[in-house]
C-alpha cells in the first residue's frame, strides 16, 4: 500500500488580501489575540474594532473600541453588504456566541466548524468538528463531508491536484450507535462521489493513525479496493463526537505549536517543519472567525485569512 507521487503546493492562505477588511472582535482578551490583530493591521492593512462591555487597556489603547456585545458586533457586520467585515470570537464562550450566530447569521447551509492543518507547502488534512450539532445524524455527517470538501477546494488546501484520480479522501473517526455499521455505505451513496470535478472517496471508520499514516494502515492490515484507497491518505477527518474533535484539535495545536514563542507571529509563517492550523465556520451569511481561546497568535491570524479567503471564493462562485 504505497501513496501516489505528488508535487508541492503553494500556500493559498498567505495570499489572502486583508486590505480594506474590518474585523469586529467580541470581548478580546489575551496576548496571542492582541499580537494576531496587531499583525493583521500592521502587516496586512486590515482594520480592527474591539467590541467589549468593559474596556481592556491593552486592546483599547491599541485598537478602535466600541462599547457593546455580540449583537452590537453583528449589527456592524450586517451593515457591510460587501462581506468585507467579519465577526471574530474573543474571550466570549463558544456556546454563547453560537446561539447569537445561529439566530442572526445562519445561512441555509448547515453550520460546519472546519479545522485545517498544513505543514510547509502542502495540505495535510482537513477535519470537521461538529461544534453546532453535538450528535449528528448520518444525513448531517454526509453534509459535513461534502461541506468540508467544498471548503478544502475553495481554499486550495487539499491534495486533489496531487492524485492522478483527482480525489479528496475522507474518513470518519469514531462512531456511535446512532450511525450503525451501515454508515460508510450510506455516506458513499448519499454524497454521490463528486464536488465539482473532484471525487470524494469515503474510507472506513478508522482511528487517526490508520486514517493518516500509510505504515500504520499497512501494519494493521487495512485492505481497501484499489480504486477507493483512503487508509493512510485521508485529507478529511470527520468526527462524530465534539469531545474527541476538540481533544484532537487542541492536541495538534499545542504539539505542533510547541516550537513557537507565545504571542509571536513569525515572519517565516510555517518554517521549521512546524504545522500551522486554522479554523473556519462555514454556513454563515457573513464572515465569522470562530477560533479557540487557547489558539496561538499564528493560528488566529491564519484563521482570519482563511475566513476572508473562503468568502472571497464564495462570492466569486
- Which domains, ranges and CATH numbers included, belong to the chain? 13-107+284-317 (3.40.50.10950), 110-280 (3.40.718.10)
94-122: average pLDDT: 78
- Of residues 59 and 156, the one with the higher pLDDT is 59
At 157 the pLDDT is 60
At residue 26 the predicted structure's pLDDT band, cuts being 50, 70 and 90, is: very high
At 97 the pLDDT is 92
Strand, coil or helix: what is 129? strand
Residue 195 confidence (pLDDT) above 60: yes
The three cell numbers of residue 6 are 505528488
Give residues with Cβ within 8 angstroms of 273, minimum separation 6.
119, 120
At 86 the pLDDT is 97
Max Cα-Cα span within the chain? 60
- 17-31, 92-106, 145-159: the lowest-pLDDT one: 145-159
Q: Model's pTM, two decimal places?
A: 0.85
- The terminus-to-terminus CA distance of the chain in angstroms comes to 37
At 290 the pLDDT is 92
Torsion of Cα atoms, 216 then 222 then 228 then 233, to 10°: -10
Residue 8 confidence (pLDDT) above 60: no
At 10 the pLDDT is 41
Q: For residue 289, what are the β-bridge partners?
A: 88
Give residues with Cβ within 8 angstroms of 123, minimum separation 6.
9, 116, 152, 157, 158, 159, 235
Amino acid at each position: 500500500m504505497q501513496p501516489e507521487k505528488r508535487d508541492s503546493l503553494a500556500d493559498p492562505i498567505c495570499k489572502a488580501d486583508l486590505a480594506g477588511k474590518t474585523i469586529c472582535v467580541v470581548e478580546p482578551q489575551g496576548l496571542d489575540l492582541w499580537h494576531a490583530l496587531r499583525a493583521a493591521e500592521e502587516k496586512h492593512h486590515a482594520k480592527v474594532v474591539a467590541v467589549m462591555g468593559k474596556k481592556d487597556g491593552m486592546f483599547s489603547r491599541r485598537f478602535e473600541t466600541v462599547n457593546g456585545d455580540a449583537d452590537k458586533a453583528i449589527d456592524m457586520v450586517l451593515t457591510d453588504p460587501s462581506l468585507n467585515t467579519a465577526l471574530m470570537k474573543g474571550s466570549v464562550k463558544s456556546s454563547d456566541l453560537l446561539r447569537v450566530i445561529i439566530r442572526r447569521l445562519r445561512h441555509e447551509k448547515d453550520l460546519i466548524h472546519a479545522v485545517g492543518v498544513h505543514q510547509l507547502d502542502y495540505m495535510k488534512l482537513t477535519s470537521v468538528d461538529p461544534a453546532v450539532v453535538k450528535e449528528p445524524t448520518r444525513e448531517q455527517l454526509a453534509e459535513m463531508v461534502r461541506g468540508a470538501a467544498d471548503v478544502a477546494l475553495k481554499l486550495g488546501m487539499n491534495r486533489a491536484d496531487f492524485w492522478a484520480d483527482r480525489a479528496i479522501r475522507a474518513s470518519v473517526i469514531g462512531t456511535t450507535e446512532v450511525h450503525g455499521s451501515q454508515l460508510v455505505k450510506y455516506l458513499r451513496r448519499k454524497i454521490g462521489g463528486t464536488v465539482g470535478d473532484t471525487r470524494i472517496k469515503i474510507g472506513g471508520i478508522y482511528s487517526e493513525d490508520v486514517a493518516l499514516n500509510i505504515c500504520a494502515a499497512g501494519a494493521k492490515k487495512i485492505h481497501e479496493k484499489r480504486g477507493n484507497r483512503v487508509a493512510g491518505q485521508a485529507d478529511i477527518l470527520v468526527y462524530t463526537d465534539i469531545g474527541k474533535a476538540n481533544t484532537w484539535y487542541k492536541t495538534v495545536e499545542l504539539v505542533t505549536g510547541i516550537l513557537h514563542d507565545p504571542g509571536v507571529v513569525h515572519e517565516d509563517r510555517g518554517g521549521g517543519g512546524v504545522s500551522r492550523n486554522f479554523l473556519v465556520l462555514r454556513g454563515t451569511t457573513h464572515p465569522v472567525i470562530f477560533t479557540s481561546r487557547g489558539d496561538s497568535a499564528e493560528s488566529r491570524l491564519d484563521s482570519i485569512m482563511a475566513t476572508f479567503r473562503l468568502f472571497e471564493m464564495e462570492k466569486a462562485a
